[in-house]
Amino acid sequence: MTAALLAASCVLTVQFRHRTDHPEASPPAVQAAPASPGAGIPARSGPLHFERIGNPARTVARDRHGTVIATFTDGARTAVLTGPSRTFAEPRTTDARVVTKDWVRLLPKAWARGAEQSDWFKTWLRSRLGSRDPDILATAFDYIAGAPARTTAAGVTYSGAARYTPSTTSDSGRARQGKPRMGSDFYDYLGIPWTFPDAVTRRPEKDRARSVDSSGYVRLVYGYRSGFPLNSRDSPAGSGLQRTPDAIAHGRLGVPVIPLTDRRPAVIQQLQPGDLVFFGTRELPGGRIGHIGIYLGLDTADHPRFISSRKNAGGPTMGDKGGTSRLDGDGYYAQGLRAARRL
């Protein structure tokens, strides 16, 4: 059901739903069964028509009026479905609002041409079309300032306002000595140890509770909450989302909708909500990617807007504190945009 969030001057229309104590690292694989060529999947308004288009290669589903109601990209698990309209906003830091009918869902497996004829897909699509269950975008807003805390039956707080990684100073205000601290990952936010598929267990640091850096935030939203597999570290081995923005940008997961370059891309119209966007930053010279966010779509002023967890804003935001959350114009992040991937 749709709930309205009004807290700490943050107004957001999203859907909230309790997750299980330990979400699966990856949805179980479903055996695909062939269907007869051209078999339709009925929607409420009638059978759907599937059409192939390019840049990137994908399949779109149209209703009987010719309206696109779903998009499936070859090699990606991210699907965008048309659903009820909702508004994402963060008045604490911006006047911008994103009003959208796009709902970002994860398929059980990466899309391949012709998958619309599979039984597993027909079952999946029937259960998702028109669904108001929280999607990737709604889940991302579970962590902005003012978002209410929610706890599992085991007592783990799995959503609620997040902060950015704590500073490198001690409780007494003195700078910590020794090895610089890395950013906070999703298990730091949760405050629980996490064992990854490679049997590596990561343990949280106490002062990092409710904290995530930019890639930790993406791993929290896409991985822990939504079921995309996760790696324990930056490594070409494994099939999960890696730890840092640079490794994810250079990785092989999903589809590069904007290929990685050393300059701002000239065209970004191929982006769709849910895409991961990557930025070069002052902190990481030499062309390395230092920041990652989730593309939301166009705001009501037709500016492409994203959400991310960043230091100067103190945590996840779609707002303009510490840099405008837009991909156009002359702002820091607009000029730092270097790539985009569709998981």
Residue 140 — φ and ψ, nearest 5°?
-60, -35
DSSP letter string over 224-270?
IIT---B-SSS-SSSSSB-SSHHHHHHS-SSEEEE---SS--S--TT
DSSP letter string over 286-343?
TT-EEEEEEEEEE-TTS-EEEEEEETTTTEEESS-TTS--BSSSSSHHHHHEEEEEE-
How far is residue 21's CA from residue 158's CA, in Å, rounded to a whole number? 9
Whole-prediction pTM: 0.85
CB count, 10 Å around CB of 136? 21
Of 319, 304, 342, 3, the residue nearest 150 (C-alpha): 3
pLDDT tens per residue across span 193-236:
999 999 999 999 999 999 999 999 999 999 999 999 999 999 87
pLDDT tens per residue across span 291-343:
999 999 999 999 999 999 999 899 999 999 888 999 999 999 999 999 999 99
How far is residue 256's CA from residue 18's CA, in Å, rounded to a whole number? 32
How far is residue 294's CA from residue 226's CA, in Å, rounded to a whole number? 14
Q: For residue 43, what pLDDT is reported?
A: 54
| Joined tokens for residue 330 | 């002359």
Check whether 103 has a pLDDT greater than 50: yes
